[in-house]
Amino acid sequence: MAEQMVEIKIPKSLYDKIKERIEDTGFDSVDDYVTYVLREVLANLEEDEEEVFSEEEEEKVKERLRALGYLD
């Protein structure tokens, strides 16, 4: 069963830029491209939200563990 679709409006100038950009790609339509891009953006956001510690926080934890002798 196909996903139900809804309409989203974007400026014509943006539509035209996307249409030009997808020429000679595997995308059949602007709709397909926009759907792909939005899914990728959302997946990246969800992935970022899953990180428990920032890089800085992780480094601080490692420094503490080294100071306590748990890491070399």
Tell me the pLDDT tens digit for each residue of 15-68: 999 999 999 999 999 999 999 999 999 998 877 666 677 889 889 999 998 898
- Note down the domain range covering 33: 12-67
pLDDT of the residue at 69: 87
Residue 62 to residue 72: CA distance in whole angstroms: 10
Residue 54 lies inside a defined structural domain of this protein: yes
pLDDT number for residue 55:
86
Q: Residue 5: inside a domain, yes or no?
A: no
Does residue 24 sit within a domain?
yes
Cα-Cα-Cα-Cα dihedral sign, residues 66, 53, 50, 34: negative
Position 42 in a domain: yes
pLDDT at 49: 65
What domain count does the chain have? 1
